[in-house]
Structures are given as structure tokens and as C-alpha cells.
Amino acid sequence: MTKIIVDTNIVFSALLNTNSRIGQILINGKGYFDFYSPEYVRFEIFQHKEKIKTIGKLSEDEFIETYSLILRNITILNHSLIPPEIYRSAELLCKDIDIDDTIFVAVSNFAKGILWTGDIKLLNGLKNKGYEQVIKTEELYQDFLIREKQK
């Protein structure tokens, strides 16, 4: 099964619209993909919780229900599992793109997975450096649809 590392912006999008392509992949794609994310994703979600609730017009209960629905299919990885040399190489890749995304690249390298991000600057910046372990939502959605048809 393909290992997919989920960036925070993907989780945000799913929280805002569970019926979107992103939401459907995360909710229904468990049989095709293994989803992972660093612990940091929880911190970022709760740091922006009120904004997510406002934009998504979610009550506290709806937020918690949606959060649980989305995160139940994502394995959260402890940052301390990542060896320092993997973290340092990810930091070198991200330093002039967005240093805050280092942990997601490090998890991708550690888990030997593909980083799923909606951050075009990060995606293009990594690809320009020859890093191919990234995927856009549209590419992943097409893969998801193919797998659904083969079911």
C-alpha cells in the first residue's frame, strides 16, 4: 500500500469540507493508502481551531466530530522517531522554501512515503530541487478513482 504523508493544509481542507476530493480521499481512501502525519499536525489544527470553525461554520461538537472523522485514518508519528540525519537533510531541502515544512519532508523520508500537500510553493520548490516524493491532490484523486473502479 502506498504511504502518503499528509500536510496540515490537506487536513485543514478536509475539516472545512468533508465532501471535497480531499475529504473523500482521507475518509474513503484507507483501503488504498496508508496515511501518516507528524504530531505537529495536531498542534497546528488546534492552533487554528477557531478560524477553522468560523470558516467552516462548525459548532464545537461538529468540529470535534469532523476532526475525529478525518484523523481516524491518519497514523500520527512521534517526531522523536526521526533520526537527526534525516531531519537535517529535510531541513536543507526546505530551508529556502519554507522551514516550517521540514517535519513533513522528514516524515516522508523516514517513512519512505509521498508527501501530499496543497502548498504549491513547497511542491514546486521541492520538485525544482529534484525531490520527487510529493503529490498534488488532483494526482492522488485520479489514483483514488482508478482504485475505486477496480474494487
Q: What is the pLDDT of residue 79?
A: 82
Angle value at C-alpha 47, between 46 and 48, nearest 5 degrees: 85
Alpha-carbon gap, residue 128 to 81, rounded angstroms: 28
Residue-range definition of the domain harbouring residue 24: 2-150
Answer yes or no: are the C-beta atoms of 20 and 14 closer than 8 Å. Answer: yes
Instruction: Say if residue 17's pLDDT is above 80.
Output: yes
Q: What is the pLDDT of residue 1?
A: 81
Task: For residue 31, name the pLDDT band (cuts at 50, 70, 90).
Answer: confident
Environment class of residue 84 by beta-carbon count within 10 Å: exposed (0-12), middle (13-18) or buried (19+)? Answer: exposed
Indicate the residue type of 7: D
Instruction: Say if residue 147's pLDDT is above 80.
Output: yes
Number of domains within the chain: 1
- The CATH number assigned to the domain holding 21 equals 3.40.50.1010
**Tens digit of each residue's pLDDT (9 = 90 or more) over 43-90:** 999 999 999 999 999 999 999 999 999 999 999 998 888 999 999 999
Task: For residue 137, name the pLDDT band (cuts at 50, 70, 90).
Answer: very high
Indicate the residue type of 90: A
User: Which residue, among 86, 95, 144, has the nearest Cα to 122 in the 3D structure?
Assistant: 95
Average pLDDT, the chain: 92
